[in-house]
Chain A
């Protein structure tokens, strides 16, 4: 099973991963705030992830690690 993990405190909430995800699994968590003061990206349904790493490819801040 694919697993996506986020280095939450590096995230700037730009949302490029959200628009890159072909399964529309990522959201910007508006109710959370990280160390930088941004609302970070998070995954809504880990089990539905196909591990394509499109999110990590588009992330400008190397926040995302993808395992399969």
Chain B
């Protein structure tokens, strides 16, 4: 009996990601959710700009490539034209939290029935490790060589907290993929985010705290430890918005 194999919703193309990059884990979790809900034939993904720009080669479902940050706007159009299809976006922090913040917040406040997988690794990966809106205070990057100076560039944006301050979005959760337990929880959250859409409930966003060994200048294992020591204390994991609970109480 096979306990574990590559999900069918991933193509055979090898990932281009750096060794130890957790993008691969998150791709796999999304594909597992698609497989388990048996929705591959009617799923359309929207790829971002960033390291995951070539996600369209890796998912076996139909994919669309959006302009930088505009994936939630493209997903809105797709969902409204094809309401019976399952539409997801896969975006990084440089894509969703900076140039795409307007599209994200407005898609959330319209409670668009889409699923967003938001990968937060606190840095711009593809362009070579510049400071992102989510970089931690004091974090050394290419554009903050003395550490992020909060007096001049401000504090990081906590996307899950920000979106949960809106009344409209249905489901917002933050998870991490730095150990087996967290990966399993991330899987549950991602599957739930797709399930919500299948049931027509509305906007679901899962923020995945992820690593960037190359641009953090760490080994893959040390990068996962850094998530535990630095990222998770600043970006606490948990469910930030769950309207199913609010509806139960009402």
Chain A residues within 8 Å of B, Cβ to Cβ: 2, 10, 12-16, 19-20, 36, 38, 51, 53-54, 56-62, 64-68
Interchain CB contact (< 8 A) of B19 among A14, A62, A67: A14
Across the A-B interface, the 9 shortest Cβ-Cβ residue pairs: A60-B24, A14-B20, A12-B19, A14-B19, A66-B4, A53-B4, A62-B6, A56-B4, A14-B220
Q: B residues 37-80 with Cβ under 8 Å of A?
A: none
**A67 touching B221 by the CB < 8 A rule?**
no
Chain B: residues with Cβ within 8 Å of the partner, total of: 29
Min Cβ gap B165→A in Å is: 33
27 contacts between A and B (CB under 8 A): A10-B14, A12-B18, A12-B19, A12-B20, A13-B19, A14-B19, A14-B213, A15-B20, A19-B221, A20-B179, A20-B180, A53-B4, A56-B3, A57-B4, A58-B179, A59-B24, A60-B23, A60-B25, A62-B10, A62-B28, A64-B4, A65-B5, A66-B4, A67-B2, A67-B3, A68-B1, A68-B3
Q: How many Å lie between the Cα of A16 and that of B15 in the bound state?
A: 16
A19: B residues at CB distance < 8 A? 221
Q: Which residues of B sit under 8 angstroms from A36, Cβ to Cβ?
A: 14
